[in-house]
Structure 1
């Protein structure tokens, strides 16, 4: 069966099952694993699927990918972004880390920083930073979101308003082409907006897959942020906007010929 016929069948299987695996599709079509990986890469680049470990899922629209899938999605890119971000965080800083696997990657890069005060609504971040005895950790409290260890709601917002952070490091579920940060949970959006308002500087950590996704709730614009850490160059129009907004874009492993 040619690629032309496989692609619609792969998409139909993904719609029925929610996820497809490389091994399952190779058996279904009687082709090699390498052939299926190429098919999934082509469909992901076209925005029709989103690659995850061992296969692919339908791109998100109004619901987020499961936490375990997000944790392993673009793991290497997230690690590179986190290292670049951590290099910009000075010892002795007060900072906020919000919900997300990218901010968790930043937390892992802060294990050797000294004299930090980290406020977070992410229980996973708190657990990671417990290994750094030179880091004061404050959990905001709030309603526990069991799917990813996030804390949200009015109690969370009330806690955040008691601080003025040197720096906030935030993630997002999607990034629109006009530079708007998007998310799925309106309660989480409210927390993120409050964090930005209570911070002297704000960093966004988001890998290039966020440009291929959509989410219904708006957090803020890149115009309101100071530095955007990502793994691929952004479109020229957005780069020009960021220059006008004085928002720095820091690209890890930059490939000049590629664009998000």
Structure 2
């Protein structure tokens, strides 16, 4: 099979699945692992996919959460601490699922008198653990729904319907990407519907995004830029054109 034919087949598989393993490509194309590796390197250089451990994803998709949990941890911790400073006692807070919001939960767990409403099982466990130890007293509400196959989180119509029962002071959300034109975007439809419902039912929206997400756009928008009240990012993105463009549109940007 010619190289361009292989590339076309890989593009078609990714367009259908969004994520594909090296073994799946080898089986579909009948080629060696080394040939697949070269093709993925070539297509990544063209911006048509992103290589991850064991295969490739659509360029706007995220790596598996198990991989992301070990990347940019220091930056995420700084962002989480800065976002925690925005939270006041007595507030009702929406938090979505993600590696940044998981770290955020560790910081928020030290506070007290909060009502945290989340679809993230990890966030709920971390908030609850602190209350059980007597470190803080917070009410934690884990939203019902189907468990996502992408993360330990609930998604689906039941989750969205439950969100609509509440009105929160803050929605603390971590998207796949944010830019000055499309606002906050994510890749997965079910996760996006949850985030969009939280935006709709919150008084204020705080977006937590490390510098790698600035100026990027994933496939589904869930929060227009004029609905974002505060962007919390890290200092690595301070001088980028992407952040300069966002500063012109956003009321508040915090560099952690």
TM-score normalised by the chain length of structure 1: 0.71
Partner of 1:138: 141
Q: Tell me which residue corresponds to 2:6.
A: none
Structure 1 position 175, deviation (Å): 2.2
Q: CA deviation at 1:16?
A: 8.9
> Which residue of structure 2 aligns with residue 160 of structure 1?
163
Task: Provide the C-alpha distance between the structure 2 equivalents of 1:147 and 1:186, rounded to a whole number of angstroms.
Answer: 11
Partner of residue 109, structure 1? 107
Q: Quote how far apart the aligned CAs of 1:221 are.
A: 2.1
**Conservation of the 8 A alpha-carbon contact between 1:61 and 1:216:** no
Asked if 1:72 corresponds to 2:70, the answer is yes
Partner Cα distance (2:78, 2:54) in 1: 23
Which residue number in structure 2 is paired with residue 239 of structure 1? 244
Report the CA distance between 1:60 and its aligned residue.
4.7
Does residue 184 in structure 1 map to residue 182 in structure 2? Answer: no
In the alignment, is residue 228 of structure 1 matched against residue 231 of structure 2? yes
Distance 1:185 1:240, change over 3 A: closer
2:99 is the alignment partner of 1:92: no
Q: Which residue of 1 aligns with 2:175?
A: 172
CA contact (8 A) 1:179 1:238 kept: no
**Structure 1 unaligned blocks of 5 or more:** 1-14, 19-43, 253-260
Figure out how many residues of one structure are paired with residues of the other and give that number: 212
Cα distance in 2 between the residues matched to 1:143 and 1:16: 25
Q: Which residue is equivalent to 1:248?
A: 252
Distance change (3 Å), C-alpha of 1:79 and 1:99: same
1:46-57 alignment runs, 5 A limit: none
Uncovered stretches (5+) of structure 2, i.e. residues with no partner:
1-19, 24-43, 132-136
Task: Kindly report the root-mean-square deviation, in angstroms, between the aligned alpha carbons of the 2 structures.
Answer: 3.1
Cα distance in 1 between the residues matched to 2:73 and 2:250: 29
